[in-house]
Amino acid sequence: MSDAETLFERIIAGEIPSEKVYEDETTYAFRDIAPQARVHVLVVPKKRYRNLADLASADPQLLADVAAAAKKVAELEGIAETGYRVVFNTDRDAGQTVFHVHAHVLGGEQLGHFGR
């Protein structure tokens, strides 16, 4: 297992410091170290799956927990009304770098278009 695969588990365990935004029994949310918007928070299920597809197949309840945590983060960050984007990068073409599924919650300003 590479460092990239264990990074978020180490953050959840508190072995690597992070700026926590929200936590519950099954998820942990913290600020991205390289924010791509004024608000950029990562929501990570405490149990590791490689990507969204694996999580959706194996544990739909946990996927629902991640979605609920993203909603909670938006409320806590004051962007629930102004709008926000939730992104799950999956594998090479999306540029996924950490293979522990996570939702990016982005907002706090007008976001650009996405895609190519």
The smaller minimum CB distance to ligand 5GP, of residues 13 and 16, is found at 16
Residue 36: CB minimum distance to ligand 5GP, A: 7
**By the rule CB under 6 A, 98 interacts with ligand 5GP:** yes
Among residues 95, 112, 113, 116, which is the contact residue for ligand 5GP, using CB under 6 A? Answer: 95
* Residue 92 token pair: 């090479």
Q: Which C-beta is closer to ligand 5GP: that of 5 or that of 75? A: 5
**In sequence order, what DSSP letters do the residues of 24-46 get, joined into one string?**
-SSEEEEE-SS-SSSEEEEEEES
Q: Which of 46, 50, 51, 48 lies closest to 24 in space, CA to CA?
A: 46
For the segment 25-84, give every residue that binds ligand 5GP (CB under 6 A).
30-34, 42
The CA distance from 37 to 87, in Å, is 13
Using rule CB under 6 A, residue 1 touches ligand 5GP: no
Planar angle of CA 74, 55, 92, nearest 5 degrees? 90
CB of 51 to ligand 5GP, least distance (A): 9
Q: How many helices (H) and strands (E) does the chain have?
A: 4, 5
Binding positions for ligand 5GP, rule: CB under 6 A: 7, 16, 18, 30-34, 42, 89, 95-98
